Amino acid sequence: MKKLLSIVTFLLLAGAAPAMAVCTVPSPVTASFGTATSFAANTTSSSVNSTINVNCGPGAILALLSADTITLRGTATTFSSPPYPAMGLGSDVIPFRICFDTGCANELLTTGNTYTIDSSKLLGLNLGGSTQVNFGIPIYLYTRTGAVVAAGTYTTDVSILVTWNVCTGIGLLGACLLGSQNTGSTTMTLRVSMIVTNDCTTLTTQPIAFGSAPLVSQFTTFSGNITVVCTKGSTYTVGITNGQHATGTQRYMISGSTLLAYQIYKGTGTTYWGPTGTDRQSSSAVTANADFITRVFPFNARILTTQNTPVAGSYTDTVSVDVSF
């Protein structure tokens, strides 16, 4: 009889100490915004969706207890632009939002705020069907506009603390079955990336007008600028064609069949500015403006005084300016 009692006691103790279930959160979760030019990244918000899975193993949930929740809190990020996380490359950053709905009514910030999913919402997030409890939490990421950045691959790791309190088996009386209460937390990584490419959006200059003079020696030098807007830190060259009436690199304006020789030079000197090779002007020749993307290239144009003065008339030519990057 004593032997039987000891066996029964052992079985009762074994039944009172069930193994505690443990949820898992796969990590890292990746999200890529793809590729965009630097100016698209500056003016247009890109978006990407992903899912954070909280897998609590075998079980079935036809209902959840009112106290069941999953809570997410951002704890760290490689780069930031407070209060937002950001992707970074060197000192350049592209901030973005981590949202839990398409309207971004709920989001994670670098301030350490939390987002709690209650039982009513968790029921609709279970991806495990009738045999597995696997909550798929959708996240919606949106870049913020306004960043002025160089080309390259921008990345960041966002650490998110996931805390759960979930019952994976509820009895007929609405109580959590023995061994079905799952409580715990873990930190997962959300890895976000975006590729930014070089681009140029603006190329402007002004017409060259020499005015009027009776002799070629009396025309004054025309000074002007070519303004170019290209990606921060990009390298490019600016070329000027030789015009419609050139012979080799010598430019000419024309009136009827009469030519008037002129030339366009880099800066304020007398170095020929042409369309190919080293005759083009490098972006390194001038410093970018305070906005990091605008460069102003000075030039001067002169009517050559070594030629004979041609017949009176209105002389014209057309040249084109291009940017190669």
Tokens of 89: 């490359």
Q: Residue 148: exposed, middle, or buried by beta-carbon count in 10 A (0-12, 13-18, 19+)? A: middle
Residue in the block written with tokens 């000197």: 269
Task: Summarize pLDDT for 17-48 with one digit per residue, the tens.
Answer: 344 458 999 999 999 999 999 999 999 999 99
* CATH homologous superfamily for the domain 200-324: Fimbrial-type adhesion domain (2.60.40.1090)
Return d(Cα 168, Cα 177) in angstroms, integer. 8
Per the prediction, the chain carries an average pLDDT of: 91
Task: Summarize pLDDT for 211-261 with one digit per residue, the tens.
Answer: 999 999 999 999 999 999 999 999 999 999 999 999 999 999 999 999 999
What CATH architecture applies to the domain 20-197?
Sandwich (2.60)
CA 122 vs CA 7, 136, 175: distances in Å: 42, 9, 18
Higher local confidence (pLDDT), 101 or 57:
101
pTM here? 0.86
Q: Concatenate the DSSP letters of all residues of 136-177 into one string.
A: EEEEEEEEPS----BSEEEEEEEEEEEEEEEES-B-TTSPBP
Higher local confidence (pLDDT), 142 or 2:
142
Q: In the chain, which residues fall in CATH 2.60.40.2040?
A: 20-197
Higher local confidence (pLDDT), 168 or 72:
72
Q: In the chain, which residues fall in CATH 2.60.40.1090?
A: 200-324
Task: Summarize pLDDT for 56-74 with one digit per residue, the tens.
Answer: 888 766 556 678 999 999 9
